[in-house]
């Protein structure tokens, strides 16, 4: 299973098995309201699309 997380706040959106997503989808994060565009899950070893360092739109800051 793959954890699909919000690209903005890293909230867990849903989990899916590899290959469960057959086409592009959009899902709105319930925590921050960001609309995440997701593509079919596939192994992308070289591409870094996770904003792990850039905190321009706010990192995890829960109170």
Residues of the shown chain interacting with Zn ion in the complex, contacts defined by CB under 5 A: 6, 8-9, 11, 29, 31-32, 34
CB of 44 to Zn ion, least distance (A): 21
Strand 2-5 and strand 12-16: the pairing is: antiparallel
Contact 26, 35 (CB under 8 A): yes
Q: Which of 10, 9, 36, 14 is nearest to 25 (CA)?
A: 36
Q: Which is nearer to Zn ion, 19 or 33 (CB)?
A: 33
Q: Which is nearer to Zn ion, 4 or 6 (CB)?
A: 6
CB of 25 to Zn ion, least distance (A): 16
């Amino acid at each position: 299973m793959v954890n699909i997380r919000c690209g903005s706040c890293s909230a867990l959106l849903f989990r899916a098995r590899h290959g469960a997503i057959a086409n592009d989808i959009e899902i709105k994060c319930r925590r921050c309201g960001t609309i995440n565009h997701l593509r079919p899950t596939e192994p992308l070893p070289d591409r870094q699309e996770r904003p792990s360092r850039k905190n321009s739109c706010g990192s995890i800051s829960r109170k």
